[in-house]
Amino acid sequence: MNKINYSEIKAGKIILKRDSANDNEITNRVKEIISNVIKGGDETLRKYTLSYDGIEIKDLKVSEDEINEALPQVSRQLKDAIKIAAGNISKFHKNQIRSEEKVETMDGVVCWRKSVPINIVGLYIPGGTAPLFSTLLMLGIPAKLAGCKKIIICTPPGADGKIHPAILYTANFLGLKEIYKVGGAQAVAAMAYGTETIPKAYKIFGPGNRYVTIAKQLVSLENTAIDMPAGPSELAIIADNSANPEFVASDLLSQAEHGVDSQVLLICNDESFIDNVNKCIDCQLEQLPRKEIAIKSLERSYFVFVKDMTEAFDLSNEYAPEHLIVSIKDVYNYLDRIENAGSVFIGNYSPESAGDYASGTNHTLPTNGNAKAYSGVSIDSFVKNITFQDISASGIKNIGNTIEIMAENEELFAHKNAVTLRLKEIN
Active-site residues, by number, are: 322-323
* DSSP per-residue codes, 336-364: GG--S-SEEEESTT--HHHHHHTSSS---
Helix and strand tally (H, E) in the chain?
A: 15, 14
User: Residue 161: which region, alpha, beta or left (left: phi > 0; alpha: psi -120 to 50)?
Assistant: left
3-state secondary structure of 59: coil
Cα separations in angstroms, 307 against 270, 277, 316, 361: 8, 18, 14, 32
How far is 94 from 240, CA to CA, in rounded Å? 36
**Do the Cβ atoms of 66 and 179 come closer than 8 Å?**
no
Give the residue from 141, 143, 147 showing the smallest Cα distance to 122.
143
Q: Are strands 302-305 and 225-226 parallel, antiparallel or unpaired?
A: unpaired
Question: Please, which residues have CB within 8 angstroms of residue 176's CB and are 6 or more apart in sequence?
Answer: 136, 140, 144, 151, 153
Q: Where are the alpha helices (DSSP H) in 113-157?
A: 133-146
Q: 291-299 and 245-256 are packed helices; what angle lies between their axes, rounded to 10 degrees?
A: 100
Cβ–Cβ < 8 Å for 213, 186: no
Separation of CA 178 from chain center: 21
Q: For residue 170, which phi and psi values (nearest 5 degrees)? A: -65, -45
If you ran DSSP here, which 8-state letter would residue 380 be given? G
